Amino acid sequence: MHRLNALLIVGYFLGILMSSDAARAQDRPTRSEVWDLKLGSMAAALPDAFTDYACGTNGGPPSMGLSGWQDYRRCRPDAEGLREVYFRYDDELEYWAKANNFATEIRKYSGTKLFDFPVVLSARFDDAGVMVGIRIVSDPRDTSRDREEFYQLRNFLSARYLREGWDCVDLPREEGETPVFRTFIKQRCRKTVAGAMADLYTAYYRKRGQSEVDERTGRATQGQFESLVRFELTLVR
């Protein structure tokens, strides 16, 4: 009898802990990500779950601020006739993690990141307001991760769309371009994915004028290399 009562008491407290964990999970805020944006959606139908909307600059820093997706027409069309809208992830989860002192989550949800790499995100619209593409570019402005590692983002992006079937071309070196230590990557890969073209460009090398050692001081240079990834997914129409 005593053993049965002990088991009942343990079960009671386990139930309380499990219900408490479930409640905490329900209280945990969720964050929309770039993968939640579906190609072919109208601007008005996209989730308004991001922040700092602005006209994009071909994967660079934002320009004119916007109130949301519906303002896409305020952005100038690019050479392909598409209008780029820059956006950032909402900060709510970062604040939630800091308020609860969750170190892992603070790192995970701080800034706009993809696979823990800081990125510049944008959506691309045609004149009818259809989102026909997304653009992801590694963000050199964010120093939360060593920029030398940025080129490794390509491994995660290619794996997301399965590593097989990519058509990759090593681009020729231009005058003065050299490896970083022994590694030189200047590659463009493409793959058709469910009616869309995935385009992945990776760079890891030194440009002309960049070097590992400063000839004047003999000291190692800082940041004199290219390390970036540029990914686009665009509807084939």
Residue type (1 letter), 25: A
pTM (two decimals): 0.84
Residues 6+ apart with CB under 8 A from 25: none
Distances 201 to 10, 80, 135, 142, 157 between C-alpha atoms, Å: 56, 18, 12, 20, 11
55-112 pLDDT, tens per residue? 999 999 999 999 999 999 999 999 999 999 999 998 887 778 778 888 777 777 788 9
Per-domain residue ranges of the chain: 28-138, 146-237
Chain-wide mean pLDDT for the chain? 87
The helix (H) or strand (E) run that includes residue 83 is strand 83-89
